[in-house]
Structure 1
Amino acid sequence: MDYLSRGFFVVSGMAETLTDSFVQDPFYEEKAMAEMSAWLAQNKKKPAFLSRLAKITQSGINELIPEKVHQVVTYAIEKMVKGVLLGTKFITPAPLQGLNLQQREAKVEKIIRIYQNTASVEGAVTGAGGILLGLADFPAFLTIKMKMLFEIAAAYGYDVRKFEERLYILYVFKITFSSQHSRNRTIGIIENWDEYVAGLPPETSDFDWRDFQLEYRDYLDLAKLVQLIPIIGAPVGAVANYKLSAKLGQIAKQCYRMRHFKWDV
């Protein structure tokens, strides 16, 4: 069993047994809803000039990376999406029951910190090796991202054995690492999740996962692409993995808050 799998079991256990005492905030839900509303307002906007400039910069970096690297990245993304949709790649933690939002999010924050540290160490090791170990880093980092999201979903009480919950996880991932245009469209799906789920095919096997996975090819992290360039070194890999894991975890919190508050537009 690799260290990633071992780390998953450790975090799963912690998600079940975290019992640190904390003072219950009577206004926690009101504050959480205000944070979620502010996040939505900030993220539902037209693509800005800086976003378009970042896309141009990313395209330039892509041209510096050998075609072999692009092939490896594409294959890793396709395998990740297929594994999540078909439920064949990840161990499914049991959903936590009987907790209020503050208790759930206390657990979520600890899950995020653990996966941040795991991703940071893994990124430092492979970043130091340049492009060859960077190739090994990308699918490993995708695995870390997905395992963290599975843990977070369970902490919020959702059963990731269900197809629609695994699909929701992929949309959370997409919101985090996509362009502003795609983010707006995906947030619209999240906001109307119950309606979207009602329109899914009755059989999981009828879902067109091949078309779905193709969308991920253009949603790569700029910092991760920089890490793949030779001679960049360990600090970039460690910092990139740490920050990207934090970003994914915090956006996942907002997305699951939308469901907790039954946010619908």
Structure 2
Amino acid sequence: MIETESTDFLLNELKKIEVWENDQKDLWFWEKIGRLPFKLLDKVTPKFIQDKIGIAIDELGSYIQTGGKYLINEKNILKKFNSNESDLTQELLPINQLDQVPIRKMDEVADEIIKSRTKFATIQGATTGIGGLFTLAIDIPVLLGLSLKVLQEIALCYGYDPKEKSERIFIVKCLQFTSSDIVGKKAILEQLSTLNQDNQNNQNNQMISQLQGWREVVTTYRDNFGWKKLFQMIPIAGIIFGAFINRSSIGDVAEAGKMLFRKRRILEKIHQLENRSELEI
């Protein structure tokens, strides 16, 4: 697929992402209030439910190292880049050639996936909202799994392979970004901006440090949307709250993932065009 995008177009799209980054603000008050429901929840939740949450968090930790059971099958995503998805004989475009796909097509496939995943999260949230407190304990690890899934799919949309450990690190940072306060978001954006500039040795060192902080990332993610989940603890009424909250949570994660992966791809395309111009000179 031939690259048809100009440098001016890519720079304009990059400015849109930078506007989004500047708009990512959080309220310290809500960040603090967010932890209160889970402090209460820990006191009243039976031990066996707490143990299940702990096991789920530990399982998620293996995602960075191996992908575990959360690593997705990329074929369904790659088929969306075919000119005719219904043609089973058409050869799939390899992941390492997706960088040649225009940004508009990447956005189109990403938006389709985001729409599908938020719809699924809405149904899932309504289902777990039926039982109040007890199904809330189940909903938390499930929502984390859905978040990882949609971020991996978005990564593929922009030509990045989540089977690579460095990409799973990036996915974790996207997840952490969504639940961080304004200071944390600024720090994460700075980390991600230098990620592609590091050599392989530095990336390996970063992986080790990120692995050590994984449990903290998951715990922060859980705690920071705790206040949103407070009303889902009410049986039956939790159906409405669960549907809305899960939809918005996955929507926020997907938006962050799209913007951050999109920014990487645009910067790489600009770099490729600049190199091409220098060679022509």
Normalising by the smaller structure, the TM-score range is: 0.7 to 0.9
Separation in structure 2 between the aligned mates of residue 254 and residue 195 of structure 1, nearest angstrom = 19
| Contact 2:151 2:257 (8 Å CA) reproduced | yes
- The verdict on how the C-alpha distance between 1:227 and 1:122 changes in structure 2, with shifts beyond 3 A counting, is farther
Separation in structure 2 between the aligned mates of residue 176 and residue 58 of structure 1, nearest angstrom = 14
TM-score norm. by structure 2 comes to: 0.73
For the residue of structure 1 that corresponds to 2:162, the secondary structure is coil
User: What residue ranges of structure 2 are gaps of 5+ in the alignment?
Assistant: 76-94, 269-281
Could you tell me which residue of structure 1 aligns to residue 170 of structure 2?
A: 168
How big is the shift at 1:228? 5.1
Q: 2:251 aligns with which of 246, 254, 260?
A: 246
How big is the shift at 1:217? 1.3
Separation in structure 1 between the aligned mates of residue 257 and residue 197 of structure 2, nearest angstrom = 20
Amino acid corresponding to residue 225 of structure 1 in structure 2 = K
Alignment of 1:1-265 (within 5 A): 29-43=10-24, 51-67=27-43, 68=45, 72-89=52-69, 90-93=71-74, 95=95, 97=98, 98-196=100-198, 198=200, 199-201=202-204, 209-220=211-222, 221-222=225-226, 224-226=228-230, 229-231=233-235, 232-262=237-267
Deviation string 1:146-177 (CA, Å, 9 cap, x unpaired) is 11111111111111111101111111111111
State which drifts further: 181-190 or 61-70.
61-70
How big is the shift at 1:82? 2.3
Identity of aligned residues (%): 18
- The verdict on how the C-alpha distance between 1:85 and 1:184 changes in structure 2, with shifts beyond 3 A counting, is farther
Deviation string 1:18-51 (CA, Å, 9 cap, x unpaired) is xxxxxx99886455222201012223x7x6xxx2
**Number of aligned positions between the proteins:** 235
How big is the shift at 1:92? 4.1
| Contact 1:224 1:237 (8 Å CA) reproduced | no
How big is the shift at 1:213? 2.5
- The verdict on how the C-alpha distance between 1:174 and 1:41 changes in structure 2, with shifts beyond 3 A counting, is same
Separation in structure 2 between the aligned mates of residue 152 and residue 208 of structure 1, nearest angstrom = 21
For the residue of structure 2 that corresponds to 1:65, the secondary structure is helix
| Contact 1:76 1:138 (8 Å CA) reproduced | no
State which drifts further: 212-221 or 140-149.
212-221
How big is the shift at 1:143? 1.3
How big is the shift at 1:218? 2.0
- The verdict on how the C-alpha distance between 1:58 and 1:126 changes in structure 2, with shifts beyond 3 A counting, is same
| Contact 1:65 1:229 (8 Å CA) reproduced | no
| Contact 1:32 1:257 (8 Å CA) reproduced | no
- Highest CA radius of gyration, 1 or 2? 2
Separation in structure 1 between the aligned mates of residue 67 and residue 246 of structure 2, nearest angstrom = 25
For the residue of structure 2 that corresponds to 1:192, the secondary structure is helix
How big is the shift at 1:223? 5.2
Deviation string 1:49-98 (CA, Å, 9 cap, x unpaired) is xx221123223322321344665445433322322432222224153724
Separation in structure 2 between the aligned mates of residue 40 and residue 217 of structure 1, nearest angstrom = 24
TM-score norm. by structure 1 comes to: 0.77
Amino acid corresponding to residue 74 of structure 2 in structure 1 = P
How large is the Cα RMSD of the aligned pairs? 2.9
